[in-house]
Amino acid sequence: MAVDHKGLLTADPGSQILVSKFGNWKNAENFNLPSDTLYVTIKAGSKNNAIGGILAEFSNGFITDSSWQCAEISSTTKNPWPAASAVAANDGSHKQWNSIVANISPGAKWIWTSNSGDSEVWCRKSFGGLKVCFLLKSTSVCMIFYHLTLP
């Protein structure tokens, strides 16, 4: 994952991982998501009035694109969040992100809110599924059901 300019990754069930703080977006940071991860939320900030960006590919195959939702920090209490704006491809053709970020799919997009002037945003992605936990002989067992269709 690459964040321009700073960010924080939160994954279900609530662990927070510092992504970067004014880091170098050209070098992706790698994280392995637990197989039972239902969603991720990324808090990101830009600096010097430049557009911010989040670019990611996760161990479950999901990438950043317009299927994500992004909102300016003060409007995250509103539902639903608006769709992310896919600002640029990971192909080095954008004037700000002028090189390919290695180890991230070329299909991944730099995302942000539709307002390029937003300086702090949250972007989130639900991987779908239903997490069910139960106690089995004094051991907690959890399962994830993806693409569950209920009658």
**What are the pLDDT digits (tens) for 109-125?**
989 888 877 778 888 88
> Which residues face 67 on adjacent strands?
none
Return the percentage of the chain with pLDDT > 90, whole number.
3
pLDDT of 98 strictly over 60: yes
From residue 3, alpha-carbon distances to 27, 51, 127, 150 in Å are: 10, 11, 20, 37
Other beta carbons less than 10 A from residue 57's beta carbon: 21
pLDDT band of 131, cuts 50, 70, 90? low
Is residue 51 within 8 Å of residue 97, measured between CB atoms?
Answer: no
pLDDT of 147 strictly over 70: no
Beta strands in the chain (DSSP E): 2-4, 6-11, 15-21, 39-45, 53-55, 69-72, 85-89, 109-112, 120-126, 130-136, 139-145
The pLDDT tens digits of the residues spanning 48-96 come to: 667 778 888 887 788 889 999 998 877 656 667 888 988 888 887 877 7
What pTM did the predictor assign?
Answer: 0.74
Cα–Cα distance, 40 to 33 (Å, whole number): 9
Q: What is the pLDDT of residue 73?
A: 76
pLDDT of 41 strictly over 80: yes
DSSP H or E run through 53? strand 53-55
Average pLDDT over residues 6-32: 67
